[in-house]
Structure 1
């Protein structure tokens, strides 16, 4: 198995692959290297006839904090061509995980923020620890949840998505279950058993039929075609070019309040 810079990958003797995002010091934020690693692991495991199911998790205190802020800062300083290419890198990673012909089970803990929610939404099923925090936090930074948008809305539906898509509000695992981001939440002591229970059925069904059934479900569900993906890429690149994004990211990195934040009462 390939060694990855940003992932830990283990495969057990039943053909279950455990893919762990491994940037705990960065709260498993999605850097360009991690995007490439996840794209590659999706292709590698997705075509491996011995793999029956894949479990996606995060090392450290949280599942995934979203996009790497240094990476986003670089896009604001970049030219249009570079911005489009980097937005396309993120979109390609999400697409690879979403279309992978293997069941993908998310093990969510601590927090799933921004792109972390996108990662949960490309899983076929996601189980969270009780107490996990969720939020589409992009608008706090003057950004939008663009490339994850097709997958988030496919999972939640437009009505539910609009409850949390624009406000950057932090919400808990119970609401995440109501919104459809996760299937359920369980106590930390029970999450390994809950993940094992999701994996177990896939050890007793025909692997090719599983892939075909997943493809059928995607084909009958909301359309996420190249036009939708290209639109999300363009919208993200456009937002990176805006003045709000530059100001919001600078405020976050300097630990100062952006101008649109309500002053704290004294």
Structure 2
């Protein structure tokens, strides 16, 4: 059964199908470019899906021809007239929204087609998994406007690394889907008509994992990234696995494996 919830602003629609929630950006006429309202809608919807135990996977997608073309021109024009305090509040809202998506305690998938520019590229990188159609194009285009990709920077850097970022943050070159796959910006590239099939395959794979274990795995990656392998790190990882082994979810997972049956969470997916 598929149910939809339309945000009052009309900028975002939540589509629920089983345990999957798809957040559809609906500013198709603006190529799903950001403004204050869309940023707020994405933040609120992401928090709601993160707190909803019935949701196992969150997919981020865009209606129309593009995933997201970055900042709305009218929004950017307004920001150009702001003082430092107003600009900081605006930037804080965007940064908080991206962090909410990046730290969601469940798997997130970016469904990318068409343009994913500036903040749109940041959205894709903030998600755990990115699947792109072969017509997708990316760019950190901020320097062309005399700006920098600051709020999206941590997530883009996490995806493509500092070496690639040194090029693309400064050149603002367009990155086609093949190049995006090559540099680790996306995990999969498929034909446009195969995009939803590929996402369904990944969702199916995600449904086999324990939800608490997946959330703990995300925290593990965030905490391990860039850390030296020293005594403290080794002790921390041993403590984490010891603690999770003692959970009901781990007992169910091991029991299901030994009994040659599907785990309870798979049956609910």
Deviations 1:133-179 (CA, angstroms, capped at 9, x unpaired)? 11111111111111101111111110011121111111210111112
Which residue does the alignment assign to 1:65? 69
Question: Matches of 1:85 and 1:94 in 2, distance apart?
Answer: 14
Q: Conserved in 2, the CA contact under 8 Å of 1:54 and 1:104?
A: yes
Which residue does the alignment assign to 1:10? 15
Structure 1 stretches lacking a partner, 5+ long: 224-266
Range moving further from structure 2, 163-172 or 23-32 = 163-172
Q: What is the TM-score of this pair, normalised by structure 1?
A: 0.80
Deviations 1:88-132 (CA, angstroms, capped at 9, x unpaired)? 010000000000101000110011111111011011110110121
Q: What is the TM-score of this pair, normalised by structure 2?
A: 0.80
Q: Conserved in 2, the CA contact under 8 Å of 1:154 and 1:222?
A: no
Matched, 1:107 2:105: no
Q: Conserved in 2, the CA contact under 8 Å of 1:101 and 1:214?
A: yes
Q: How does 1:1-266 map to 2 (within 5 A)?
A: 3-4=6-7, 5=9, 6-13=11-18, 15-221=19-225
Question: Matches of 2:169 and 2:68 in 1, distance apart?
Answer: 17
Q: Conserved in 1, the CA contact under 8 Å of 2:138 and 2:175?
A: yes
Question: Matches of 1:32 and 1:222 in 2, distance apart?
Answer: 33
Which residue does the alignment assign to 1:228? none
Q: Conserved in 1, the CA contact under 8 Å of 2:5 and 2:13?
A: no
Which residue does the alignment assign to 1:264? none
Structure 2 stretches lacking a partner, 5+ long: 228-269
Q: Conserved in 2, the CA contact under 8 Å of 1:87 and 1:147?
A: yes
| Bigger radius of gyration among the two | 2
The 4+ residue runs of structure 1 with deviation greater than 6 A are none
**Matched residue pairs, number?**
222
